[in-house]
Amino acid sequence: MNRIYLALLLLLCTLADCPLLAAPRTERGNLTFDNIPQPSAILTEKLQGYLNARQATPLGWSPKGQLLIATRFGEVDQLHLVDQANGARRQLTFLHEPVTQAAFSPDPARSAYVYLADEGGNEKAQLYYQRVGEPAKLLTDGKSLNGAPIWSNSGREVAFFSTARDGRSYDIALVDPESGALPRLALTADSSGAAWLVLDWSPDDSKLLVLKEISVAESYLYVVDLNSGLKREVDPSPTKAGIVSGKFSRDGQGVYLISDRDGESERLRYVGLYNNDRTVISGHIPWDVEELAISRDGHYLAFVSNEAGATKLNLLDLRTHQELAPPRLPAAGIIGSLSFDAEDKRLAFAFAAPNQPRDAYVLDIAENRLQPWTRSEAGPIDLSKFVLPTLKAFPTFDRVEGKARQIPLYTYEPTKPGPHPVLITLHGGPESQFRPGFDPWIQFVVNELGFAVIAPNVRGSSGYGKTYMALDNGMLREDAVKDVGAMLVWIEMQGSFDAKHVVVAGGSYGGYLSLATMVNYGDRLSGGVDVSGIADFVSFLTNTAPYRQNQRRAEYGDERDPDMRIFLRRVSPLTNADRITRPLLVVHGKNDPRVPVSEAEQIVYRLRAKGREVWYLLAADEGHGYRKKSNRDAYYETFAQFLMALRQ
């Protein structure tokens, strides 16, 4: 970064009262800025160049061979149609809330699709049906949680999960959007609190493939006969196993599924429904398989493997049992959202890289030719200046086979010589993973503010085997915090990092980790950022949305158990708030159903009562994370201002 520009920013920051001093509580639209100084104009202008970037996600094909995508041309993502490679994007929906999940009916006579939309980030998504060019029709009750809609092969009915019956159970419902009838239950959830999800329809539409998910590490797969209502488990296991996804084979005789059964990684398997055929298809790949798609004629199977955070597209010819070699993508990045067209000739998918926005790509299988169907604008920023991350690892406190356990992390470093101040970013989940996708915010922090960005995948992250993912469960929660502490020691040993200027930030579970790091290692930090984070595990588990409680208890522990309750209270940042002495930025959405806003309010109140410096940003029209561009821009402007203030 230009040192003169940085010096000017710091000067302007000082003149604008940007240091961590008291600022009034102000409201701008749906945003409340509590003790947050006004950002400097020069900082905001520079940041906007990065935040104006767009991305596009393919959601599937229309029967006419058009690609349905979600992209933003205003405040939020909306549905668009693209007719051909690099064709114009024709907008279909014009809502105030984002629309990122939708699917066309396979029936060419209907030219219609369903989509999901909630209100203000409350995640109570409703299912809508819309013919192209006509008004949308609400299919659900307007107040329950609904999701994962899948059309029948005939294109007449939609299967989806819904909590309409009691507000907490994930039942499976069916609806014919053209009939005018209300949705009817196809499967009523049991009392276990598990989530029931639809994965596929059988080729003759007489059965559903459904997943009973108790936790990431424990799922069960069933075939449900829609005529009799009976369900039969697919490939029962004597031990618990996680199942990611599944699809019927096109002859209806078997199921392709992704599971970590009998191994560490999530592998693609085939299971015969009427014989003893059991085949591991991705056994030669020592990484997790994340997603699969099958052409309607059963000719091709595509799947994505997660290889140390980046992804690889795999394509199989099921008739010849050969592995095909798709053309190479422009760079290493993230692939997802696989879908075959109605003629089984083309495969669409999303692709993003650290220096390339997410776009829709289409593979012509016969010609083995790859084309981008969208070219998203990156704003006025030169993508060639975007920094590519480096995959590294650091040793942590415990040992594996006599050696220190290695924790993977990605580092983004400025091109100018160091040592550089450091921003640590901690992902949520915890069963998630930092991935090297397109992130203009990280690039701004590196290129314009001169920070190195370090993104670890501490224990509990997905992508490194089920044993690694379980290392932070229940009473092991603090071990993930110890990983961050070990990383701070590693940072001190690197000559390119300024260990005296380290900021920790995280969202959701990452927000908890950020707060816990400030509790335990505050003397090594300049400050911290908590976005939608957990401050107290007991109040979080008590107040999170009812349909999420049992799944979160499987990860964090059951707060109703006296011994677990004592442990959860002991390790909660709120209990140890007196040990947080560094400045903190707290960001939350008022309608958050996952981590209620009371978590933010508790930590803000407790720290201010102790005289600590806290900036607090609240959005009245957001939930778990900021989805509207104006809100997101204000959040990043505040974040940037906070980082600059900590530099002084």
| HEC string for 466-483 | HHHHCCCCHHHHHHHHHH
DSSP H helices, 384-476, are 440-447, 466-469
pLDDT given at position 349: 98
- Which of 151, 63, 110 lies closest to 343 in space, CA to CA? 63
State the residue for tokens 């960001």. 587
Domain segments of the chain: what residues?
Answer: 3-52+381-646
Q: What pLDDT sits at residue 153?
A: 97
Residue 22's pLDDT is 56
Please give the helix or strand (H or E) that residue 632 lies within, else none: helix 629-646
pLDDT the model gives residue 1: 42
Q: Which of 416, 585, 395, 417 is nearest to 491 (CA)?
A: 395
Spatial contact of 177 and 158, defined as CB atoms under 8 Å apart: yes
Across residues 593-618, what is the average pLDDT? 98
Tokens 């930090």 belong to which residue?
A: 525
Q: How many residues does the chain have?
A: 648
What single-letter amino acid sits at 537? F
Please provide the DSSP assignment of 217-286 as one string.
TEEEEEEEETTT--EEESS--SS---EEEEEE-TTSSEEEEEE-TTSSS-EEEEEESSS--EEESSTT--
307, 382, 310: which is closest to 353 by C-alpha? 310
Residue-wise pLDDT for 144-185, tens only, equals 999 999 999 999 999 999 999 999 999 999 999 999 999 999
Which residue in the block uniquely carries the two structure tokens 């939930």? Answer: 623
Instruction: Sheet containing 267-272: give its strands across.
Output: 243-248, 254-259, 267-272, 278-280
Gap between the Cα atoms of 506 and 511, Å rounded: 4
Kindly state the average pLDDT of the residues 449-478: 96
Residue 564 CA to residue 486 CA, distance in Å, equals 26
pLDDT reading at 6 higher than 70: no
Residue 347 C-alpha from the chain's centroid: 23
pLDDT score, position 276: 85
Sign of the dihedral through C-alpha 544, 530, 557, 569: negative
The pLDDT value given to residue 193: 82
Please tell me the distance from the alpha carbon of residue 197 to that of residue 171, in angstroms, as a whole number: 8
* Mean pLDDT, residues 410-428 taken together: 96
The CA distance from 21 to 3, in Å, is 25
In this prediction, residue 19 carries a pLDDT of 42
Q: Are 131 and 115 in contact (CB under 8 A)?
A: no
Give the 3-state secondary structure of residue 521.
helix
Which residue's entry shows tokens 């797969």?
A: 221
How many CB atoms lie under 10 A from the CB of residue 541?
23
| pLDDT, mean over the chain | 94
Q: What is the pLDDT of residue 207?
A: 98
pLDDT in tens, 34-46: 999 988 888 999 9
Q: Closest by alpha carbon to 607, among 35, 26, 38, 39? A: 35
Structure confidence at residue 39 (pLDDT):
85
Query: Residue 168 burial (CB < 10 Å; 0-12/13-18/19+)?
Result: middle
| Amino acid residing at 21 | L
| Buried-state track 385-398, b at ≥16 Cβ within 10 A, e below 16 | ebbebeeeebebee
Spell out the CATH class of 3-52+381-646. alpha beta
Classified as helix, coil or strand, 537 is helix
Given this model, what pLDDT does residue 191 score? 81
Token couple for 353 = 């890289």
Residue type, 492: E
Per-residue pLDDT tens digits for 336-365: 999 999 999 999 999 999 999 999 999 999
